[in-house]
Amino acid sequence: MAGDKVLREIAAFFADNIRKDDIIARYGGDEFLLMLPNTNADEATQLLMRISQELQSLPGTEFDNNLLKVSTSIGMATHMEKINYGSPKNLINSADKALYSSKQSGKKITSL
């Protein structure tokens, strides 16, 4: 399937473009969760902007004589001691809400 091929290529892209301590996981259909330990919000934003730009510059995936291009929307939530999300699930839910906001607004990265 075209979607599976694109997901494999995106997974390979992330494997080549994140740091060894970062953690990437497929979170939903076409959503990925990226955990950036020991990274402040500014550093995370810079990394995510670079990743977004590089994903946009990928040539695309050929499938059944069609060129499939990748677009990105990114939701970000930052764990800091002064912000108590209560649980990792709540932190992920906050990032998911930011992602939805990013998709709705047309912005590349949204942080809540």
Instruction: Note whether 75 and 110 are within 8 A (CB).
Output: yes
3-class secondary structure for 46-90?
Answer: HHHHHHHHHHHCCCCEEECCEEECCCCCEEECCCECCECCCCHHH
pTM flag (> 0.75): no
Instruction: Give the tens place of pLDDT for each residue, 26-48.
Output: 887 778 888 888 888 889 889 88
Give the orientation angle of helix 41-56 with respect to helix 2-17, to 10 degrees.
Answer: 130
Residue 47 identity = L
2-111, CATH topology level: Alpha-Beta Plaits (3.30.70)
- For residue 32, give the nearest of 64, 50, 10, 2 by alpha carbon: 10
- For residue 5, give the nearest of 60, 50, 59, 52 by alpha carbon: 60
Domain segments of the chain as ranges: 2-111
pLDDT tens digits in sequence order for the chain, 112 residues long: 777 777 888 888 888 888 888 888 888 777 888 888 888 888 988 988 888 888 877 777 676 777 767 777 777 777 765 566 667 788 788 888 888 888 887 766 666 5
